[in-house]
Amino acid sequence: MSGGGSGTDVYGPEKRSAVMRRVKARNTTPELVVRKALTRLGARYRLHRADLPGKPDIVLPGRRLALFVHGCFWHGHDCARGARVPKQNRDYWVAKVGRNAARDARTREALSAAGWRVETLWECELKDPAALETRLRALLDL
């Protein structure tokens, strides 16, 4: 384990690395919720296009629309869950989420510059299926 202080991690570096590797980046529950809603609306989409900046979670090529489905904690959303900072290893988590948010901003800019519409769907917004459908319909111009 690492030394004392507020930056102390409950795991050593190897264990922390193993824990972080288990965090899914693709096919997460929130992503599946959005994909099912898009399918119900009859939208055609592609997943994780590696040729686009940031590998958007969902891409609707005909509409030049890139969707990112973000976990509130991991990407620093301004909701209750996103604002939460773990007590253990606080400095690490603040820096980690900050790096994620900075990367997200760079990705949005790059996609916008390439002529794509970019939308972020937050995990907390997916709890209301009717609101999600309304938002997706607006994005799809249905």
Integer angstrom CA distances of residue 38 from 23, 43, 67, 101:
24, 5, 11, 26
* pLDDT score of 10: 73
Domain harbouring 91, CATH code: 3.40.960.10
**Phi, psi for residue 47 in degrees, rounded to 5:** -110, 140
Q: How many domains does the chain fold into?
A: 1
Confirm whether 4 is domain-assigned.
Answer: no
Confirm whether 49 is domain-assigned.
Answer: yes
Confirm whether 10 is domain-assigned.
Answer: no
Tell me the per-residue pLDDT of 112-135, one tens digit each, with 9 for 90 and over.
999 999 999 999 999 999 999 999
Give the range of the structural domain holding residue 54, as residue numbers without chain letter.
26-140
Confirm whether 18 is domain-assigned.
Answer: no
pTM for this entry: 0.82
Confirm whether 11 is domain-assigned.
Answer: no
